[in-house]
Amino acid sequence: MSVYTVHEPPLRAADAFADPERFVFVRDGFSVWAFLAAVLWMLWHRMWWVLLIYVVVIFGLDAALRYAGASPFVVAVTALFVSLLVGIEAGTLRRFTLGRRGWKNIGVVSGANAEEAELRFFNAWIREAAGKHAGPPVEPSAQPSPLPRMPQSPAVIGLFPEPGGNR
């Protein structure tokens, strides 16, 4: 099972409540796409500051290693390790970017995939919202009396008569 953090967008000027369709679920764990194509992955998720820092680090490491006389193999392995680090920390980088944009982390949910996690989160979210808006509790004396009971006759359920009833 994967673990996801749920992020609520900042309210727009005309909105009183956040639009659930805009919620973002960020999976915690290794991201293959962030590892294989870090720059494209960052562009896709519009992570401009993270991309800028990544490019500065990559070019800085490349220049420093070449200046130190490192072989091309060492430069390539270093770039591979930086890409591995981006793949491992992909979820954290997305959460950082969303936080800088004003998104709120409103929960953590797990699921076999993103759809199951969304289903679990929104089911719990709706139950919680319904509980908040249910109104004040009703005192026991003010509760309506139960409906009158119908007279009981021996009932047959399936093939077997009610115990103690007529056969």
* Beta pairing partners, 85: none
User: Does a structural domain hold residue 70?
Assistant: yes
What is the dihedral angle through the alpha carbons of 159, 162, 165, 167, rounded to the nearest 10 degrees?
10
User: Does a structural domain hold residue 46?
Assistant: yes
Number of structural domains the chain divides into: 1
Q: Which domain holds residue 117?
A: 2-129
Q: How many C-beta atoms lie closer than 10 Å to residue 35's C-beta?
A: 17
Q: How far apart are the first and last CA of the chain?
A: 54
Q: What's the chain's Rg over C-alpha atoms?
A: 29
User: Does a structural domain hold residue 62?
Assistant: yes
User: Does a structural domain hold residue 158?
Assistant: no
User: Does a structural domain hold residue 80?
Assistant: yes
Q: How many C-beta atoms lie closer than 10 Å to residue 5's C-beta?
A: 20
User: Does a structural domain hold residue 100?
Assistant: yes
User: Does a structural domain hold residue 84?
Assistant: yes
- Specify the pLDDT at position 140: 54
Residue of 20, 17, 15, 23 whose CA lies nearest to 103: 23
- Specify the pLDDT at position 135: 57
User: Does a structural domain hold residue 160?
Assistant: no
Question: What average pLDDT values come out for the chain (167 residues) when binned by 10 residues?
Answer: 91 76 91 95 95 95 94 93 95 94 92 91 85 60 50 48 51
